[in-house]
Homo-oligomer: A and B are copies of this chain.
């Protein structure tokens, strides 16, 4: 049958209270008692009953999640869905998970993390969208001894309890391998088209580009010509400006056969290709935004690289809960698969929750 605390108490010749103290290292106990209890636990193979523990628990565990506002950047909506699934699943447990959203501005991030610090949570999940401020936040959390999880963007130097996300170098290589396959003609070239907002954390996008380039050098394929086109989005200019610039660039570069967009904005390029009826170009981008999915299905995007964002959101809180509640060890880095999506398999992927 199941081994309970009293069982090991009896075996060790002490009371249940003592066993509890030893298991949780609270209060003082005689060394003799500790010895005997530990041995009894070992021999009988005690495993705590999580449901009983939860029922008896007085205080609730508090987890705070600091995520960019999906109303502003659709990309984050999937992580939120995953977090909400986790919240739902943990409903019967004594955990309270708060989601704090922030806008893609440094000031907003700071406000949000101040708010989180005031909550005095037992654990934090956050997306380090701005490096400097993220560092300050991490320092504060370390000082207050609050374990935290980095979601989606990895900075080892922040030393989180664990990271959960994708390896951007690897993702870039995967994209490159597909491009290489699609490059039927060696005289044609590949364009790396990065479209970014000013001031935003960019390191993982750079890594995706570096990984992409590395693929060709590592595989001894220097003959492949790779151009780069960088567009910085400025709030003051409107979209049609960019469209014109990029269209003209394309028209003047007929050798381009493949376009690689290292972030989630491939749909912008696809839209231009579609509107101006530019054919014969293979487009590959990242993330399952609705627009990307739509244009993938329509055939204007050939591949999307994805990373199971819902799952990442879900597991960021589940793993943290496990670490805090069940107190089991966690892997320091949870690198999620680099998923390859095309017109044919997108249907079974979109909105999938595992």
Contact = CB atoms under 8 A, between A and B. Distances in A.
B311 A337 contact: no
Given A55-B51, A91-B47, A170 B337 contact: no
Interface in A295-353: 302, 308, 311, 315, 335-345, 347-349, 352
A339 B339 contact: yes
A93 B53 CA distance: 12
A354 interface: yes
Nearest to A354: B354
Most B-side CB within 10 Å, residue of A55, A93, A311, A352:
A55
B311 A354 contact: yes
A222 interface: no
Contacts of A49: 55, 92
Nearest to A185: B184
A15 B289 CA distance: 51
Nearest to A343: B177
Nearest to A336: B348
Most B-side CB within 10 Å, residue of A308, A311, A344:
A344
A170 B348 contact: yes
A29 interface: no
A52 B55 CA distance: 6
A337 B315 contact: no
Contacts of A343: 177
Nearest to A302: B181
Contacts of A184: 184
Contact of A92 (B51, B91, B92, B348): B51
A343 B52 CA distance: 46
Interface in A243-302: 302
Contacts of A308: 354
Interface of A: 47-52, 54-55, 91-93, 166-167, 170, 173-174, 176-178, 181-182, 184, 215, 302, 308, 311, 315, 335-345, 347-349, 352, 354
Q: Which are the 5 A-B pairs with shortest beta-carbon distances?
A: A51-B51, A50-B92, A340-B340, A338-B345, A51-B54
